[in-house]
Amino acid sequence: MKTGRKNRRRFVAEVTAIVSGLTALQKTSLALHGSPGDGETYWTLVRRLFAFYEEKVPMNAANLCPSPVSVADMVAELTRDIDVDCSFNNRAKFSKLLESSRSAVADHLGVDADEIALVRNTSEANNVINSGLGLKPGDEVVVWDQNHPTNRVAWKVRAQRYGFSVREVTTPPSPRNSDELLEPFASALSSRTRVLALTHISNVTGVRLPISELSRLARERNIYVHVDGAQSWGALDVNLRELGCDSYAASAHKWFVGPKEAGLLYVRKERIQKIWPSIVAPSWGADTEPDPVGARKFESLGQRDDACLASIASTVDFHRMIGPRRVEARIMELAGYLKSRVRELGARLVTPAAPELSGGVCIIDIPTSKRQQVVDLLYEKYGIAGAPTGGLRLCPHVYNTKEHVDRAVKGIEAALRLI
């Protein structure tokens, strides 16, 4: 008994220390807030909240982001607590921590906690919707041809099994305004359309769809709208009520800079009951009707990483520390700076220059056969980690500085001479 009490006291002390550290960072941030024109000094301090070395700088937020040290430490400490005592008695506290994370995410996105399921990633969330909607022969699902495979190919696989049809919409490669993105979808919707499945920001072009307008258009026709927000959660100041979609999926390990293998599925309150769960585990309950309230029924997935889920709330604290609007403004500033520097080199951008048509995903046109070579050059010689997706993909985040962007541009300039 004494050992158990000591362990619990140590757990409380460790978590208190981490929370105190977060509070100290928040106070430092508030002291620095000033006006939006604080300059690079503030962002250099933000960069220091991450553990990566200057020799190898991450700039591929569309795939994976480092977490702030505060979040990584929280995951480590909570994991250690479980390893010290994995009893039901000790782990009981994680139910409350999970709910704290859920409430924090809901508040961050402007919705109710009962509309949020904390799942494992965007892929899982997309497939919950894909498999959970009751579609039949004669029904139609309209998708964007730039959707991630889990929101495009997955629909085709499901259609082959259940007999409904899938229509792919193509938008202009270089859209000049949002109307050019709206019109192809408006033309594709028909009396047979039951679902409109979209991606907020494309990971292969960087194009941002006008989700609010598309949601309004679809809901006027009683069409269900699902949005893959993998490239917008944590990058944009997202309010799901304003987006107007019926469901939204995202991953914590991307722009949200949260723990790995965690994600969210938002389902609008009125739609929850109509969607079947993909997995039913013991947490579901003992009958056909779920015990969990609201969207929690979609996270009945068996044993979970309690430390990971509990640490999502700490990641929300990090975003609050800076401010979601300020996070978005900084990402757009760095993306705009990168685009202007690339254009000065004479390279072609796949991603629209206009901020209202894009986000933080920036893709430079590089021949397919040369993409990996360019990515390797940037990483090995200039210490910038990008990706060969759609061209050369670079995605600057709040942990990046303009000096990092300048290094990337030097690498691109060198690469262009080689190809």
For 35, phi then psi, to 5°, come to -110, 170
Residues paired with 410 in a beta bridge = none
Identify whether residues 284 and 352 lie together within a single domain: no
Residue with the larger pLDDT of the pair 184 and 13:
184
Q: For residue 311, what is the DSSP state? A: T
CATH number at residue 265: 3.40.640.10
pLDDT classification of 372: cutoffs 50, 70, 90: very high
Residue with the larger pLDDT of the pair 11 and 330:
330
CB-based contacts of 310: which residues, under 8 Å, 6+ apart?
Answer: 74, 78, 94, 97, 98, 100, 101
> pLDDT per residue over 289-311, tens digit each?
888 889 999 999 999 999 999 99
Q: What is the pLDDT of residue 23?
A: 45
High-pLDDT (> 70) share of the chain, %: 91
Identify whether residues 177 and 284 lie together within a single domain: yes
| Mean pLDDT for the stretch of residues 103-114 | 98
Q: What is the pLDDT of residue 301?
A: 92
Q: What is the pLDDT of residue 27?
A: 45
Q: What is the pLDDT of residue 34?
A: 45
pLDDT above 70 for 362:
yes
| Mean pLDDT for the stretch of residues 186-213 | 98
Identify whether residues 377 and 281 lie together within a single domain: no
Q: What is the pLDDT of residue 11?
A: 59
Residue with the larger pLDDT of the pair 290 and 152:
152
For 220, phi then psi, to 5°, come to -65, -20
pLDDT above 60 for 1:
no
Q: Which of 376, 359, 327 is nearest to 62 (CA)?
A: 359
> pLDDT per residue over 392-405, tens digit each?
999 999 999 999 99
Identify whether residues 352 and 311 lie together within a single domain: no
Identify whether residues 297 and 391 lie together within a single domain: no
Identify whether residues 277 and 172 lie together within a single domain: yes
- Phi-psi category of residue 206: left, alpha or beta, with phi > 0 → left and psi -120 to 50 → alpha: left
Domain boundary among 318, 350, 367: 318
Determine which helix (DSSP H) or strand (DSSP E) holds 247, and give its type and residue range.
strand 247-251
- The answer to whether residue 47 is domain-embedded is no
- The answer to whether residue 298 is domain-embedded is yes
Identify whether residues 254 and 299 lie together within a single domain: yes
For 135, phi then psi, to 5°, come to -105, 150
Domain boundary among 283, 318, 353: 318
CATH number at residue 361: 3.90.1150.10
Beta-strand relationship, 116-119 and 140-144: unpaired
Residue with the larger pLDDT of the pair 419 and 417:
417
Residue with the larger pLDDT of the pair 40 and 363:
363
Q: What is the pLDDT of residue 233?
A: 98
Contact by Cβ (8 Å): 373, 418: yes
Identify whether residues 333 and 311 lie together within a single domain: no
Mean predicted lDDT score pLDDT of the chain: 92
Q: What is the pLDDT of residue 35?
A: 46
- The answer to whether residue 23 is domain-embedded is no
> pLDDT per residue over 232-264, tens digit each?
999 999 999 999 999 999 999 999 999 999 999
Q: What is the pLDDT of residue 288?
A: 84
The domain total for the chain is: 2
Range of the domain at 152: 100-318
